[in-house]
Structure 1
Amino acid sequence: MDEFEKMVATIPEVARCYVTSGGWDYMLEIFTESLAAFEQLSNRHLTQLPGVKRVRSRFALREISRDK
């Protein structure tokens, strides 16, 4: 896990990385220019990180509220 955390911190598109409970170990907040750019990031970097067996993606369609 330490190696994963060090490596994910070097990826510029990763804005935040959270340790989670439940079925997944981490949740990443990622910003890319397009879905194609995300696909490249996922295939070339995220799936190659130490300890990664599976990547599950979800996309925000629009923002409803924002912290003030």
Structure 2
Amino acid sequence: MSTPAPADEPLTCSAKGCRAPASWSLRWNNPRLHDPDRRKTWLACPAHRETLGDFLEARGFLREVAPLSSPTLEA
């Protein structure tokens, strides 16, 4: 949804039009398109964590939600 930020800029929320700093990582995959172990990541600010998660969950895509600073977050 959003383009990667340069290393010196804070990561921002993936919600359309939102420029708030991200604090959550929503890891997901579309089983019709991705291998079962592949994960894509959307970033979320506190205000959009639930709505982005609900969007992914309604489609059966959401696999994990973790704080952005979580050591399990893969690049």
- Give the TM interval when normalised to the shorter protein: 0.3 to 0.5
- In terms of fraction of residues, the more helix-rich structure is 1
Bigger Rg over Cα: 1
Higher relative contact order (CA 8 A, sep 6+): 2
In the superposition, the TM-score normalised over structure 1's length comes to 0.39
Question: Structure 2-normalised TM-score?
Answer: 0.36
